[in-house]
Amino acid sequence: MTDQTFLFQMPIDEFKDFLNSAIEEVVNKTLAAVKQPEPEYLTIDQLRDYLPQNPAKQTVYQWVHFKQVPYHKRGKSVLFKRSEIDQWISETRRTTSAEAERRVNNG
């Protein structure tokens, strides 16, 4: 009689591979479920990647120069607060022609 009790018969190497696969799967699912917090402030390059149209760097600098986009200065760095950018995007939304027509018809 041995000290080990098995519920099924499987070669030890196969069992190790099975166990490693199961552990790896659980770890990968756990890591995928844990979202990394997004930075509260974006650099110019991060803002360019964040915006759907991926504007040129010079375009963003022009927006800053003409105060067309909300921004913060830290020394020489220009930073953009994500929540302010989200609000800015929603405020600059254009009305579609269908929406405008409904407004006219509904008074």
Note the pLDDT tens digit of each residue in 22-41. Answer: 999 998 888 877 776 777 99
Degrees, nearest 5: CA angle 28-16-13 = 145
**Distance of alpha carbon 85 from alpha carbon 20, whole angstroms:** 44
The predicted model scores a pTM of 0.55
Residue 3: the pLDDT is: 64
Q: What is the Rg, in whole angstroms, of the alpha carbon atoms belonging to the chain? A: 27
Residue 78: closest CA among 94, 64, 68? 64
